[in-house]
């Protein structure tokens, strides 16, 4: 198995401690990032194994756009979690990652997205209607969690039961990351690799249409007439199984929290549903669910007067960059008239921009449509625990709703 390279010369890494990374309250995270962006835009923390943090849009965009200066091969999230093999394409830089991306691209072509729009809207409606009828539920656990599981089942052509099992294992993996339980991280990761291997073996025996099946697409891809390496295919399928486990759940929860605070925005979208796409875009900017995607410099770099050594991990806080006042007017405010501003970075940028962003947008839009069509107000009825690095957002949002 192709193991990721280890960082070099770690004795020279920074020991500065500019902030505590344990801030996980829904609003406190943005307050911390806003403070750092204004006084210390390139900051270092000794938490989570030690890492640098970029909070300005300009610095984040530059790092994710240029793999010749910042590589994803050494560490791609904070905290460092890869305990087994490389998982393409995320753990590779161009040109090594390109065949894996090229294999996935046809899965998101326009006609395929038309299928997903219909399928996911039906899934979202089927999940949300009974919840709306009962009036009290947990937005994350009862809606934001099962919806991606259903999409996962359809994407891989597996049973709902198998998809739910994978989601539960993946959830255990993510919770192990939050507590840095290294034994459990290793154990659950290996279980996910086993699930990926079984899926690959099934597709080798019974190939499917590579235009709609990701595993068959990987198996069919050729580079100079040769198939992709077995460990590369295994790592890619393993990555795809868990890539959307937490972010959709937490983001749907963040939307509910936003509308609990701003029922007038729900009313606006109910009166003008043509503004739902713009609302999705603005909510993604405000509550970007990733703060800890990372890169490491290929050589020593100096940014905002701070010197970062080769291989030191740098967290690229999309969550912070998307509220940069140098880029976005009224950055903490929900606005639907951002016509002349740069695009947000919720799905990244450059060679590692989220390949599945089309499906993610359909899922988020379908969830928001259900809110708009069925809810006039949310009321929070219990604690709202938060996820930790590398994601941002709630893991549970218990509510009662007022219906339309």
pLDDT tens readout for residues 367-391 = 999 999 999 999 999 999 999 899 9
Confidence of residue 105 (pLDDT cuts 50, 70, 90): very high
pLDDT, tens digit, 9 for 90 and up, residues 18-74: 999 998 899 999 999 999 999 999 999 999 999 999 999 999 999 999 999 999 999
pLDDT of residue 239: 87
- DSSP H helical ranges for 135-261: 146-156, 160-179, 182-205, 214-220, 230-242, 247-261
Is the pLDDT at 3 greater than 70? The verdict is no
- State the Cα–Cα distance between residues 278 and 26, nearest whole angstrom: 23
pLDDT, tens digit, 9 for 90 and up, residues 170-226: 777 767 766 667 788 788 888 888 989 999 999 999 999 999 999 999 999 999 999
For residues 100 and 228, the answer to whether their CB atoms sit within 8 Å is: yes
Q: Which domains does the chain have, with CATH numbers?
A: 10-403 (1.10.630.10)
Residue 46 CB contacts under 8 Å (≥ 6 apart), including other chains: 15, 16, 17
Q: Return the percent helix, strand and coil in the chain, to nearest 5.
A: 50, 10, 35
- Prediction pTM value: 0.94
Is the pLDDT at 236 greater than 90? The verdict is yes
């Amino acid at each position: 198995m192709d193991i990721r390279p280890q960082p070099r010369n770690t004795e020279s890494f920074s020991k500065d401690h500019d902030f505590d990374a344990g801030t996980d309250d829904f609003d406190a995270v943005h307050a911390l990032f806003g403070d750092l962006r204004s006084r210390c835009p390139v900051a270092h923390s000794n938490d989570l194994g030690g890492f640098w943090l970029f909070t300005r849009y300009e610095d984040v965009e530059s790092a994710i756009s240029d793999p010749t200066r910042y590589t994803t091969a050494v560490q791609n999230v904070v905290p460092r979690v890869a305990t087994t093999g490389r998982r393409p394409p995320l753990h590779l830089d161009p040109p090594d990652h390109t065949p894996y991306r090229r294999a996935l691209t046809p899965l998101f072509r326009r006609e395929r997205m038309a299928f997903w729009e219909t399928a996911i809207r039906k899934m979202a409606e089927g999940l949300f209607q009974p919840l709306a009828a009962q009036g009290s539920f947990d937005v994350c656990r009862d809606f934001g969690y099962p919806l991606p599981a259903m999409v996962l089942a359809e994407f891989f052509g597996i049973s709902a039961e198998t998809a739910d099992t994978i989601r539960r294992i993946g959830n255990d993996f993510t919770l192990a990351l939050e507590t840095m339980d290294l034994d459990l991280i290793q154990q659950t990761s290996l279980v996910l690799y086993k699930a990926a291997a079984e899926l690959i073996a099934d597709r080798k025996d019974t190939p499917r249409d590579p235009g709609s099946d990701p595993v068959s697409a990987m198996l069919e891809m050729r580079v100079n007439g040769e198939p992709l390496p077995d460990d590369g295919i295994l790592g890619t399928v393993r990555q795809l199984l868990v890539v959307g486990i937490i972010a959709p759940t937490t983001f749907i929860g963040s939307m509910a929290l936003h509308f609990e605070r701003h029922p007038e925005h729900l009313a606006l979208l109910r009166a003008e549903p043509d503004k739902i796409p713009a609302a999705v875009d603005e909510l993604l900017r405000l509550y970007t669910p990733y703060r800890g995607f990372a890169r490491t410099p290929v050589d020593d770099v100096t940014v905002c007067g701070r010197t970062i050594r080769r291989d030191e991990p740098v967290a690229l806080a999309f969550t912070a960059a998307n509220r940069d006042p140098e880029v976005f007017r009224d950055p903490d405010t929900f606005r639907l008239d951002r016509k002349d501003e740069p695009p947000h970075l919720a799905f990244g940028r450059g060679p590692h921009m989220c390949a599945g962003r089309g499906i993610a947008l359909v899922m988020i839009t379908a969830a928001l449509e259900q809110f708009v069509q069925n809810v006039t107000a949310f009321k929070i009825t219990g604690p709202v625990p938060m996820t930790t690095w590398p994601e941002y957002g709630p893991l549970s949002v218990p509510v009662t709703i007022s219906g339309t």
